[in-house]
Chain A
């Protein structure tokens, strides 16, 4: 396990991310003081952000397995749709945990189709992925129309309400039960102290550890598990070698096609789990279109995370936070925009001290634009709140995309025995 921890503590990069995250919280705290809202770093915002980031995380990790094996997977969204439908149907017919299982199977089946097209038949990965997305939507609509007839309380676009999965609080940190004993709530106590910054940080942590869902914990546990699988086992080395250089891998006796199949199918199973999470934890019902592009946002998180599990987790938290903002109203969003403005202007000043004039000007002026927006706009209209997660994804990718390195043979066509 120390090896895993070692792997997750990516030397400079993740320490930098941690520092940036702490500065981010500090800036948000300042912004809270200015605007007089207290919700930005509260436990409810944090727990909502965590809950919303898990599907993105799972989809992102799915994309990671697939792309590490060299197959681009735009079909994550379609696989996630399959996951939502099968999870709802499973929970409705058998029970919530069977729903989870069926969601995973549903996503995996669509992934098998993607693997068949891309690995066996060498179809362009993006073309196949787009087709999977169209097919996923269509097939689930058909199944709904067959299964959720009027007498079940569902319809073509939604299932009847179904049973979800329970929550729990972690002992000691957040006052959860331990074998029937009510343990102290350390973080909650700190949060209530109202100490500047410290209470804010513990409020966020309390939101992460208190009243969490079983599936949330499983989702987070998959992060180190993926890191271990991909970087610390021979299997993982083989899988990654197929994404970096399948021809060389083949010459060393790696069954390239089979590894790619593994990568893609695991990808679909994780997307299916992401879909199951949406149904069983967030919504308690299947609705058509409920994935709302989260498969793609997951891909964005994977890219932002530089094709590394810990990075994907970071990216998902950012996007999950963005997703949570829209449910919490205009004031909070304004407070967040102010935080963005302050952060960007600070970053601009930092760039100025490093005499990087161009970056300073760009960051400073974008920050100033946010500031002007903050001061001029009275209330952010509801319709625009819905666009926030997508805007944040776009914005973050525009800022972060350049210094990243994807697997070298990601998306490459590979046929057994052929030269590159």
Chain B
């Protein structure tokens, strides 16, 4: 049984990947491009040291975003609002962090607190709207995304007084004490010497801690039990004393808090300020990663690295006259394929389990018949 489940968990994403790359290959063939060459270029370019570091740096926010989405998924709650939440949180973090300078670790921690608080507060809006007014969270969080884009654009220029710095408009620079150092030192221990300007984000460690905490919270804690119970059978959970409204509020707050951390790796690791073109899209991509990783911490880590790899490796395609947008197709198909394949496999496993049970029962009955 346990083995069957593990098999499903590994096989489904793999089959989905094969399907996605297969369909993408067909699409490439249709426009007259040799897909094998394109994929080979991607692999060669994507596996250089510099590319791998960029892949991991890209995977970190994707992973945190996936965690934020997944904790909601676990109880059937769809927080599509990670995108807006993390942009707002990063903006506030950048503004507050630039106001003061204290000892290094404390400064970083205080910025993290600001980001978590902003994310959680933002997620509180759809939570309260759902609990008190019955507004479905998918619609409210999507509306809040658009509101967050407008709000942050306004705050950025009018309230936080972003000014031209270098090539772009950006908020004030956060003092060095608020920076998260890179992990290049650690890479050096393994004999890897990255090029200048190629830095492995130090937030990686925090992301790993978040993943571990997520795993234990969901699978080993009382809260996680209630969470999963509410997801599988809300009325049974309610009957056993889980207050669905409180669960919704708590889960949305945690999800929002995690969402607040999505932009921190880039903010405190690279930019040290909030520029106008602060990288977006991690919130939406995180949904895909959570679906791909089936809400499992390890699965999502793989998914995040895979997406990061595809994003990075696709850059070579433009130079080879292959539209790099092919990876967005792969990413879209893989998400749809993984849920379908998972459904098919688990239906098959279920049927086999039922058949095995039926056979066992028949055998038992046979024994009983012989005995009498």
Contacts and interface: CB of A to CB of B under 8 A. Distances in A.
Given A139-B329, A142-B323, A402 B134 contact: yes
B26 interface: no
Interface string A271-301: 0000000000000000000001100110110
A132 B333 CA distance: 9
B133 A402 contact: yes
A44 interface: no
B344 A398 contact: no
Given A146-B31, A381-B158, A127 B291 contact: yes
A127 B332 contact: no
A26 B138 CA distance: 34
Contact of B142 (A131, A293, A387): A293
B144 interface: yes
Contact of A293 (B143, B325, B344): B143
A8 interface: no
Interface string B26-70: 010001000000000000000000000000000000000000000
Chain A interface residue count: which class?
A: 35 or more
Interface string B123-144: 0000001000111101110111
A146 B323 contact: yes
A134 B144 contact: no
B258 to A, nearest CB: 18
Interface residues of B, number: 45
B146 interface: yes
B339 A127 contact: yes
Nearest to B150: A387
A206 B251 CA distance: 50
Contact of A128 (B157, B288, B328, B339): B339
A134 B332 contact: yes
B135 A397 contact: yes
Contacts of A391: 143, 147
B154 interface: yes
B135 A132 contact: no
Q: Identify whether the interface residues of B are mostly helix, strand, loop, or mixed.
A: helix
Nearest to A386: B150
Interface stretch (A32-40, A83-91, A118-126, A256-264): A118-126
B325 A130 contact: no
A135 B143 contact: no
A126 B290 CA distance: 14
Contact of B340 (A123, A130, A132, A134): A123
Contacts of A355: none
B135 A138 contact: no
B223 interface: no
B138 A126 contact: yes
A130 B158 CA distance: 34
A233 interface: no
A394 B140 contact: yes
A113 interface: yes
A126 B69 CA distance: 13
14 contacts: A127-B339, A130-B80, A131-B288, A134-B284, A134-B332, A137-B332, A145-B324, A300-B139, A383-B151, A387-B146, A393-B143, A394-B135, A394-B144, A402-B133
Closest 5 CB pairs of A and B: A138-B328, A135-B332, A387-B150, A145-B323, A383-B154
